[in-house]
């Protein structure tokens, strides 16, 4: 035996961890932050969201806004996917750790330990409404798939760079949306005897496979939806071009 410390409690300070535990919540905080700032800017910009029949996912479907409505049409749409993501079980984990530090990482002390109620009282009890946002997100996703169809087929077959970006975005959004925990419950997770319903069991297994990579789908689709809007914005503003790869009229 060499050294002895002064008398102490076995657990003092924020943590004994000596690895880079702050890196993951830090990256999450920065990643979300960038997306939220960009999406807010675009929702207020109210411009450069259409190229002929093509429309940005932030503004689709283009709803008419009454004259007294002070904001862009994007605000009539964005609350649905925003609510879906804000109540998503993965994002909850990510932002409770990154923004609320509750806890910032495992074995690291929470920030402010008074009055913690988890998801039992307002506002966090509203997280229980996630499945309603899932239904709305499926609706919005259907519209985005329709937009891909319009982008590719409205003027004969017209496979352009933008239409392919929109297609990739819809694939990623579908992987994210249908891998949702609420969906996993709805398609069969609530059952106790799968052998009674083999079809439901297969569906549940499929959703479970998607769900196992829910975090990956969440980040990829967040990036893709932002990038799709960004590309459409730049084309609409005349900064980027939108070359047609397979024209057929």
Partner 1 sequence: MPEAILKVFRGEKDSGTFETYKVPIEEGMVVLDAIHYIQQNNDPSLAVRWNCKAAKCGSCSAEVNGRPALLCKSRMDKFEPGQEITVQPIKTFPHLKDLVTDVSWNYEVNKKITPFTPAPDANWTFYQEDIERVQEFRKCIECFLCQDVCHVLRDHNRKDAFYGPRFMVRMASLEMHPLDTANRLKSIKEDAGIGMCNITKCCTEVCPEDIHITDNAIIPMKERVVDEFYDPIGKFLKSIFAGK
Q: Is 129 strand, coil or helix? A: helix
* String of contacts with partner 1 for each residue 26-65, x by CB under 8 A: ----------------------------------------
Which partner from the list partner 1, ligand FES, none does 128 bind, CB cut-off 5 to 8 Å by kind? partner 1
Asked if 201 contacts 208 with a C-beta cutoff of 8 angstroms, the reply is no
Given 34, 119, 139, 143, the residue binding partner 1 (CB under 8 A): 119
Residues 6 or more apart from 228 whose CB is under 8 A from it? Answer: 56, 57, 165, 166, 169
CB of 218: closest distance to partner 1 in angstroms? Answer: 13
Strand intervals (E) in 13-156 = 50-51, 54-55
- Give the span between the Cα atoms of 166 and 221, in whole angstroms: 11
Residue with Cβ nearer ligand FES (104 or 179): 179
204 binds ligand FES (CB under 6 A): no
Name the region of 123 (left: φ>0; alpha: ψ -120 to 50; beta: rest): alpha
Asked if 92 contacts 180 with a C-beta cutoff of 8 angstroms, the reply is no
Residues 6 or more apart from 234 whose CB is under 8 A from it? Answer: 48, 240
Which partner from the list partner 1, ligand FES, none does 1 bind, CB cut-off 5 to 8 Å by kind? partner 1
Given 23, 34, 125, 237, the residue binding partner 1 (CB under 8 A): 125
130 binds ligand FES (CB under 6 A): yes
CB of 27: closest distance to partner 1 in angstroms? Answer: 16
**Residues at the site binding partner 1, with contacts judged by CB under 8 A:** 1-11, 15-19, 89, 92-93, 96-97, 102-103, 106-110, 113, 116-120, 124-125, 128-132, 181-182, 184-185, 189-190, 192-195, 201, 211-212
């Amino acid at each position: 035996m060499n050294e002895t410390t002064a008398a102490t409690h076995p657990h003092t300070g924020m943590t004994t961890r000596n690895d880079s535990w702050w890196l993951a919540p830090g990256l999450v905080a920065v990643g979300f932050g960038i997306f939220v700032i960009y999406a807010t800017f675009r929702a207020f910009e109210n411009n450069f969201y259409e190229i002929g029949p093509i429309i940005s996912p932030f503004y689709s479907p283009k709803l008419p806004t009454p004259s007294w409505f002070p904001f862009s049409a994007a605000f009539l749409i964005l609350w649905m996917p925003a609510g879906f993501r804000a109540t998503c079980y993965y994002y909850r984990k990510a932002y409770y750790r990154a923004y609320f530090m509750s806890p910032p990482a495992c074995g690291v002390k929470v920030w402010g330990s008074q009055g913690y109620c988890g998801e039992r009282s307002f506002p966090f009890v509203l997280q229980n409404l996630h499945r309603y946002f899932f239904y709305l997100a499926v609706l919005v996703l259907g519209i985005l798939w329709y937009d891909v169809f319009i982008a590719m087929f409205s003027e004969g077959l017209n496979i352009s760079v933008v239409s392919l970006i929109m297609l990739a975005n819809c694939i990623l959004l579908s992987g994210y949306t249908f891998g949702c925990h609420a969906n996993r419950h709805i398609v069969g997770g609530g059952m106790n005897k799968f052998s009674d319903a083999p079809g439901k069991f297969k569906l549940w297994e499929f959703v479970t496979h998607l769900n196992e990579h829910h975090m990956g789908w969440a980040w990829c689709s967040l990036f893709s939806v932002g990038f799709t809007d960004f590309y459409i914005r730049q084309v609409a503003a005349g900064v980027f071009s939108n070359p047609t790869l397979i024209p057929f009229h």
